[in-house]
Amino acid sequence: MAELEGLLLDWYAAEGRDLPWRRTRDPYAILVSEVMLQQTQVERVIPRYLRWLERWPTAAELAAAPCAEVIREWQGLGYNRRAVNLHRAAGRIAETGWPDDLTELPGVGSYTADAVARFALDANVLPVDVNVARVLERTGGRFGPESAHALMDLGATVCRARVPRCGSCPLAAECPSRGRRYEPLRKQSHFEGSFRQLRAQTLRLVAERARPAEELDGKAVAALARDGLVLLDDGLVRLP
């Protein structure tokens, strides 16, 4: 297994992605990147991550920002509740510091907690996202925390979900799954015409300016309000 990990790390040294959040050990910056990367492609995240940190370079500065501005800045990244949770997490950090258990922060699950602990605090933990889990399952290998970024990159660029690029894989010679093809685990629901799209459209309208509730879809407004993304105030729907 040590040989397998050595092959992986050699590959990563030559082929690893140069991503801006890999150039820092600031836990706040890494938290921002991990929250943004939840269900959003790396290419879309990079410019938004850089812009976010230019605007709010610390947790304290984000916590001091109006929630409405945070939601506006998040527009286009999708799953807007992440913005509210990140704002709340920044408030908790600014007020009481980083908790020992990072899952106490709003919106932070076990994977995100492990990622911040590993990449910011050098904790001896291997964060397992979908890409890492796929490589572990297919190779049957055991890898240490120092291989976290390498496993993520291998899963994202080579050991892909449906059609792995085994010819480019540094682990192919020892991989019991070499040459296999896979059916998708589930079909992605269509965004066009979905309630998710209606919610997003409604939030965009409210982000532009407060609007009378009767101008908006009631179910979408109710769902956004439950997530803390809008407020209903004297018949007007506005950002919090």
Which tens digit of pLDDT belongs to each residue from 159-192?
999 899 999 999 999 999 999 888 776 665 667 7
Looking at 79, 101, 121, the residue that finishes a domain is 121
| Residues annotated as catalytic (active site), given as ranges | 34
Please report the beta strands in 142-226, taking only residues with DSSP state E, as ranges in sequence order: 211-212
Please indicate, yes or no, if residue 152 is contained in any of the structural domains. no
CATH number at residue 113: 1.10.340.30
DSSP annotation of 160 reads -
The conformational region for residue 99 under phi > 0 = left, psi -120 to 50 = alpha, else beta, is beta
User: In the chain, how many domains are there?
Assistant: 2
Please indicate, yes or no, if residue 137 is contained in any of the structural domains. no
Contacts within 8 Å (CB) and 24+ apart, 116-122: 116/27, 116/30, 116/31, 116/34, 118/145, 118/148, 119/21, 119/22, 119/25, 119/30, 119/148, 119/149, 120/25, 120/26, 120/27, 120/30, 120/31, 121/25, 121/27, 122/25
Please indicate, yes or no, if residue 160 is contained in any of the structural domains. no
Give the separation between CA 44 and CA 41, rounded to whole angstroms: 5
Please indicate, yes or no, if residue 86 is contained in any of the structural domains. yes
Looking at 121, 155, 170, the residue that finishes a domain is 121
Is 196's pLDDT higher than 70?
A: yes
Over residues 193-222, the mean pLDDT reads 91
Please indicate, yes or no, if residue 130 is contained in any of the structural domains. no
114 shares its domain with 30: yes
pLDDT of 127: 98
pLDDT of 181: 86
**Residues in a beta bridge with 231:** 238
Residue-wise pLDDT tens digits, 3-52: 899 999 999 999 999 999 999 999 999 999 999 999 899 999 999 999 99
Q: What is the dihedral of CA 21, 25, 31, 35, to 10 degrees?
A: 20
Q: What percent of the chain has pLDDT over 70?
A: 97
Please indicate, yes or no, if residue 30 is contained in any of the structural domains. yes
Please indicate, yes or no, if residue 21 is contained in any of the structural domains. no
By residue range, what is the domain housing residue 70?
Answer: 26-121
Residue-wise pLDDT tens digits, 114-166: 999 999 999 999 999 999 999 999 999 899 999 999 999 999 999 999 899 99
pLDDT of 178: 93
Please indicate, yes or no, if residue 208 is contained in any of the structural domains. yes
Looking at 94, 121, 148, the residue that finishes a domain is 121
